[in-house]
Chain A
Amino acid sequence: MAIDLLLLIGLTISAVGSILKRDMVKAAIALALTSVILSVLMFRFSSPLAAVFELSVCASLITVLFMSTISLTKPLTKEKEEKRMPVRAWHIVVLPTLLIVAALLLTFVKIPMDFTAPPAVPSDVRSVLWNNRQPDLLGQILVIIAGFFGVLVLFKERLFRADRAEVWTQPVRSMSVLTPKESDAVGINSVEVREGTNLGEPLSRKS
């Protein structure tokens, strides 16, 4: 019981850390740590299958995806980082702290377990999933499709970042990729040049 409580506190701390960290890599690692602690808790709560899925998908696969995405982006300068993510730690830690304190206090309160738990029916997870929970699987497919469109709508590459107001007038080589030096010169992190664009002419900001 004490170990579970410690793990839950550790889980909360690493989850809050993943929000507060400005460095994206550290935030992704904190999130992975959260998933690892959660899978340990799941093992302790006699759910090995759920723990394995949590470990393999959330802690491993998702972290790899995050790291791959982060590696494709240029890190923000310190000034831009501070401008975008000002420290508001005391706002964010209040609620998790209150929840932890409330959970600790509840351990001293006797919650009346005045019910008779129905007998657990042993069943194979695979047959339960495929035979009994078909609507849930259908729903999962729909969520994945919705997520696909979410990524398409929210993260599709733009010609210019929305916060840039300048017109790009720098002449560049006729290649589709800017070197880091050229990116720094015009102050943008990445650019996608469409086929047929005349790179010698000033380009207007995409509305």
Chain B
Amino acid sequence: MASLLIFVPLLGIISLNLPFGSLRRLAFPFALTLSFAQAAASLFLPIDLWNRPLPSLGSLGSLNLVVDRLGIVLLLSIAIAMFAALPVGWLTIHEESKRFSFVNLLLIAVMGMNGIVLVRDFFSLYVFLEVTAVASFVLICLDRDKQGLEGGFKYLVLSAVATALMLTAIALLLMTTGGTSFAEVAAALRFHSPNSLTRIAIACFVGGLCIKGGLVPFHGWLPDAYMSAPSGVSILLAGIVTKTTGIYTLIRLVTGVFGYSSQIKSVLLFIGALSIVIGALAALGQRDFKRMLAYSSISQMGYIILSLGTGTALGIAGAVFHLFNHAVFKSQLFINAAAVEEQTGTRDMDALGGLSARMPITGATSVIAFLSTAGIPPLAGFWSKLIIIIAVWVAGYRTYAVVAVLAGLITCAYFLSMQRRVFFGTLVEKLNSIKEANVAILIPEVVLALITIGVGVFFPRILNSFILPIHGVLG
């Protein structure tokens, strides 16, 4: 059943590209339907049904693709980000052929991310990481302008470095453990204490994933890529791509394969704290709306890695919960940025002001997203950040917990600055005639805002059905 997450979009792409012109019009509705179907399946399908092979597909229906509770969270996040990116991309890309290519490449990226979540083998993981990366390069360069090509090229180069590190790691793991499946490598590491080559392999793989995840000090490509990509692509990149290719893969491998050594914990805690602080400080000084959000993403992903570094069940649950929340509120913030850019023609926050008078829905939803990012109750972000800080404190890393809390103040500062410069204050005269964003942008804005509020308000219920079972990834 899990293999349908890859085969259905693949058949869709093949069908849409058949030489019948009328099929192109079905691209957007098909992709949107797919996002709803994936979200619904993630929420309502039991895990046993996900892992049941499909005899009607023969051997294709029994590929070694596995879904567990952690995978369900990611599949749901992928569906939400896809739902957010599609209408914005469809509306903001004006050339028809480019729009069609956007949908096709988005479907390929989604297949790649679904594959990353479902596979249980290092080499297959690498292949699907590359699928996502190739689709992302092209999406970033979709407009073929100088900035987009530069952003895509930086991502390409650093991604190639990450790939080289990961392939080196896979080769070393194959040599020392005799296999590439997660189970084989985990068993070998468990029964034999890691030797120096295995440690080098783990270090290389973690380094590669930190580059993919855009964590400090490997984040050089991220702000340029997020800023220069078309709006729909930025939503996809910030909402889910870096999370799936970097952060989720780190969570999966550290908890399920490599295990928690003191060195891994130290590295994750340090990189997490560094990303939180550097990302927040860099976001403070930005003028470009999207660039500010890009640095904010780096900071928020630092919280996830910090929580993962504790190695406790609560820490892992907090990391995954914040991953989901970040996918929602960051996608929403990038939708708000797209709405502002589409209506005003600029992302320069110093040239804007008082937009909430003309764009009330965009303004209100951006406030909800900002409050959630800053960890203000009772929104979703508050609960995930609270869990993270409690997990870090209880695990004994009190300095890191204090750093995380203080960085939260910086988060508040840059978001308040953004709100004041863009949405509040006196409306700039030349923007008097602007209107609220198109309904195709408003719908995902409102839906994501409702998810942020709903997850926060119904947190006790989500705690039992969503958060506590996640710690089962420890075995």
CB distance from A21 to the nearest CB of B (A): 19
How far is A134 from B10 in the complex, measured between Cα atoms in Å?
Answer: 15
Q: Is the interface of B mostly helix, strand, loop or mixed?
A: helix
For chain A, the bracket of interface size reads 20 to 34
Q: Do B127 and A136 have beta carbons less than 8 Å apart?
A: yes
Q: Do A146 and B119 have beta carbons less than 8 Å apart?
A: no
How far is A147 from B98 in the complex, measured between Cα atoms in Å?
Answer: 15
Partner among A115, A134, A139, A150 whose Cβ is within 8 Å of the Cβ of B60:
A134
Q: Do B123 and A136 have beta carbons less than 8 Å apart?
A: yes
- Nearest residue, chain A, Cβ from B14: A145
Q: Using Cβ atoms and an 8 Å threshold, which residues of chain A touch B137?
A: 150
Q: Do B197 and A135 have beta carbons less than 8 Å apart?
A: no
Partner among B13, B63, B98 whose Cβ is within 8 Å of the Cβ of A145:
B13
Q: Do A146 and B176 have beta carbons less than 8 Å apart?
A: no
Q: Residues 165-190 of chain A: 1 if any B CB is under 8 Å from the residue's CB, otherwise 0?
A: 00000000000000000000000000
How far is A133 from B125 in the complex, measured between Cα atoms in Å?
Answer: 12
Q: Residues 108-135 of chain A: 1 if any B CB is under 8 Å from the residue's CB, otherwise 0?
A: 0001111101110000000000010111
8 Å CB interface, B110-163 against A? 111-112, 115, 119, 121, 123-124, 127-128, 130-131, 134-135, 137-138, 141-142, 144
CB distance from A94 to the nearest CB of B (A): 15
How far is A124 from B355 in the complex, measured between Cα atoms in Å?
Answer: 65
Partner among B59, B98, B115 whose Cβ is within 8 Å of the Cβ of A139:
B115
Q: Is A152 an interface residue (CB 8 A)?
A: yes
Q: Using Cβ atoms and an 8 Å threshold, which residues of chain B touch A113?
A: 197
Q: Using Cβ atoms and an 8 Å threshold, which residues of chain B touch A153?
A: 98, 101, 105, 138, 141-142, 144
Q: Using Cβ atoms and an 8 Å threshold, which residues of chain B touch A131?
A: 59
CB distance from B431 to the nearest CB of A (A): 24
How far is A111 from B128 in the complex, measured between Cα atoms in Å?
Answer: 32
Q: Using Cβ atoms and an 8 Å threshold, which residues of chain B touch A135?
A: 63-65, 115, 119, 121, 124, 127-128
For chain B, the bracket of interface size reads 35 or more
- Return 25 A-B CB contacts under 8 Å, by A number: A112-B196, A114-B196, A115-B176, A115-B195, A117-B175, A118-B177, A135-B64, A136-B123, A138-B6, A138-B63, A139-B115, A142-B10, A142-B112, A142-B115, A143-B127, A143-B131, A145-B108, A146-B135, A146-B138, A147-B134, A149-B138, A150-B138, A153-B141, A153-B142, A153-B144
In the complex, besides A112-B196, A145-B13, A149-B105, 17 extra interface pairs with C-beta distance below 8 angstroms are: A111-B197, A112-B197, A114-B195, A115-B176, A117-B176, A134-B59, A134-B60, A135-B124, A136-B127, A140-B127, A142-B115, A143-B134, A146-B131, A149-B101, A149-B104, A153-B141, A154-B144
